[in-house]
A and B are shown apart, each in its own frame.
Chain A
């Protein structure tokens, strides 16, 4: 047994921590308050070589998703600085991993990798307002064959980086086949293709920097060589769960950021007449203990899911991924809540990051798979005897 970080990627985890502290954290408040896409962060992440991390090695990347545990630690560290940035970074990094390491052919992988090296940004849109990713997925957005490729029409919501990304990876069904396991494909579309419309109504309570407006697609042309993989590939067991896995690390980072802040605050804040740090009051110190234990436990659950995925494959790790997402999101929600109580009135102030972490953590509860779905899946998988024995 060994709990150290994979030495192959340790440098990245440490670098992520510095980037979060020195670059992301100071800007996080601005992107949140203005509800603005963190473009400067993306430029700096590209500069640091981070946006190409999940490309395969032969295309100039480090194939970071080959070790999902290390990947999750990078996300976790980034999120402690800015949850929105870490989430968007994950969306791009994971869809790039899927396009260039799993589903794309050699020509496509090379082309998409080149775009990444050129600093282009990729978004990925699956969600629709009338179908639930949590239940059975049925897509309204359809692609039809045309003379030069495909024509896509439909509507997507929660389109992160709407109007900001250079490429959109659209999840949609080809023709009229109802069975998603045969007809669901990924289509890569330049975002300036005619027929794409953004409603620009994004004004949310949390994750404000993600800019997740709704978008409509009307006869949007997609080139013949921009349909990726085979029908049903995007919901394969080694593809779909990777998105949710990353969310667990991202949202736990909101808890980690809140924890670091409140410990620091409680060590500095003194009240008259005692004039000792409020951290030394037993009611507060015991809550610090509770938060710390919860955080460590949740992080281990995320790492375990990553380790299982890396060693036994995503299918075998499916139960663990759901377990991790549940604990991570619930823990971040609980920690930010506790930290608010400890901070007293200060926790509500906009000039402190705590209220932002608190708001961002709420999105973790509903990002797919949402926590109810995670519990059900974890229990169902266990009941069916597929979760394996208790890890030993």
Chain B
């Protein structure tokens, strides 16, 4: 075992820490309060090259999905500053990676050009009448008419709706209901007049993601906007990677809450002793619990990322589910404990804690949600064998 990061991409990780602290953290409460897309953050991240993280070397990027440990640690650090931003950046970087992996050489170049040009790509799979986690049948469908795909349907939870430059729609093409054959990615320009955004996003958590619903009416795009083949979006070596990033992003929420609580407990002094509350045993006990949950979940995330690199996506799949479960459950419990530790102050808007507490709830439902993760892990134990890849 070796727990240090020794990759050539370490500079990016170090840079992410600075960006998180100096750029993202100071603005985080604004995007939350106003439920606004973190445009200024994205401008800065584009300038810093962070929207090109997953581009392959031939297109000038560091191809970070070939180094998933560093990739998730970058997300983790960014999320400590602003979880909205980290989540959206992860969506953009992941869908970019999938599309470039699946595309023809012309398509690869086109997508790389867009990303190098500072364009932002969203990915919209969610629908209100079907579950993307369990059965994945889609209502949004496309027909090939005169060499163009014509798309109709409705998507929900569309992060960066009205803000991204391109939407990657998860669509069923043709009449075949078997999603393994017919579900495809269609990369569409966001300014197509067939898109109507409902502007109803007013959520309790992840407010800055502006995940409105989108109505899709006769959106027609050239045939070369279809990337990959039918069934690609649900391939086990593709979309589970979303889940790995979510794990890191949502663990960042817990880490931020822990770090805030630690700092708060060191500085908060009460009469008559005037000792910092961190010297009280009940507080130390809470800090101990939080720290332990944090470290354990972080190891689970790192191990899943390492497994992805060392053994490939199929082997990593149950570990990614285990990591996602550990991370989101840890952040939910850590933010709870942080509120207990802080007392009334934890509920006030003056501190980031109430926001972090809300954000952590979103980690529990983000796919794969906690129950789905348990299901995946259990199946791998029961159907394959009780050991994970790389288990001693």
Chain A interface (Cβ < 8 Å from any Cβ of B): 1-6, 10, 13, 69, 73, 259-260, 263, 266-267, 277, 279-280, 282, 285-286, 288-290, 292-293, 296-298, 300-301, 303-304, 306-308, 319-320, 322-323, 326-327, 372, 374-380, 382-383, 387, 390-392
Q: Are B288 and A376 in contact (CB under 8 A)?
A: yes
A–B pairs, 14, beta carbons within 8 Å:
A2-B2, A3-B1, A73-B392, A260-B386, A266-B382, A285-B378, A292-B322, A298-B296, A304-B3, A307-B1, A319-B291, A327-B292, A382-B287, A391-B3
Please report whether the interface of chain B is mostly helix, strand, loop or mixed according to DSSP.
helix
B295 in complex: contacting residue of A289, A292, A301, A377, CB < 8 Å: A301
Residue on A with the closest CB to B325?
Answer: A293
Q: Is B377 an interface residue (CB 8 A)?
A: yes
Q: Is B206 an interface residue (CB 8 A)?
A: no
Q: Which residues of B are found within 8 Å of A377, using beta-carbon distances?
A: 288
With contacts A285-B378, A289-B375 taken as known, whether A323 is within 8 angstroms of B69 at the C-beta atoms is no
User: Which 8 residue pairs spanning A and B have beta carbons closest together?
Assistant: A379-B284, A289-B374, A379-B288, A379-B287, A378-B288, A375-B288, A289-B378, A383-B278
A151–B306 Cα distance when bound, in Å, is: 56
Chain B interface (Cβ < 8 Å from any Cβ of A): 1-6, 13, 69, 73, 255, 262, 265-266, 276, 278-279, 281, 283-289, 291-292, 294-300, 302-303, 305-307, 310, 322, 325-326, 371, 373-379, 381-382, 386, 388, 390-392
A6-B1, A296-B322, A303-B1 given; 10 more Cβ-contact pairs under 8 Å: A3-B306, A4-B1, A5-B392, A13-B392, A277-B382, A293-B300, A293-B326, A300-B296, A300-B303, A304-B1
Q: Are B291 and A382 in contact (CB under 8 A)?
A: yes
Q: Are B266 and A383 in contact (CB under 8 A)?
A: yes
A303–B1 Cα distance when bound, in Å, is: 8
Q: Are B285 and A379 in contact (CB under 8 A)?
A: yes
With contacts A300-B303, A379-B284 taken as known, whether A2 is within 8 angstroms of B1 at the C-beta atoms is yes
Q: Are A263 and B386 in contact (CB under 8 A)?
A: yes
Residue on B with the closest CB to A285?
Answer: B378
Q: Are A326 and B288 in contact (CB under 8 A)?
A: yes
Q: Are A391 and B2 in contact (CB under 8 A)?
A: no
A263–B385 Cα distance when bound, in Å, is: 10
A326–B291 Cα distance when bound, in Å, is: 11
B294 in complex: contacting residue of A260, A319, A379, A390, CB < 8 Å: A390
A85–B300 Cα distance when bound, in Å, is: 30
Q: Which residues of A are found within 8 Å of B299, using beta-carbon distances?
A: 297, 300-301, 304, 391
A392 in complex: contacting residue of B73, B266, B281, CB < 8 Å: B73
Q: Are A378 and B382 in contact (CB under 8 A)?
A: no
B1 in complex: contacting residue of A5, A279, A282, A376, CB < 8 Å: A5
CB distance from B332 to the nearest CB of A (A): 14
With contacts A2-B306, A13-B392, A304-B3 taken as known, whether A289 is within 8 angstroms of B284 at the C-beta atoms is no
Q: Which residues of B are found within 8 Å of A387, using beta-carbon distances?
A: 291
Residue on B with the closest CB to A391?
Answer: B3
Residue on A with the closest CB to B305?
Answer: A1
A376–B291 Cα distance when bound, in Å, is: 11
Q: Which residues of A are found within 8 Å of B379, using beta-carbon distances?
A: 285
Q: Which of A2, A326, A377 is packed against the most chain B CB atoms within 10 Å?
A: A2
With contacts A376-B284, A387-B291, A392-B5 taken as known, whether A289 is within 8 angstroms of B381 at the C-beta atoms is yes
A306–B265 Cα distance when bound, in Å, is: 29
A3–B69 Cα distance when bound, in Å, is: 12
Q: Are A383 and B298 in contact (CB under 8 A)?
A: no
Q: Which residues of B are found within 8 Å of A296, using beta-carbon distances?
A: 300, 303, 322, 388, 391
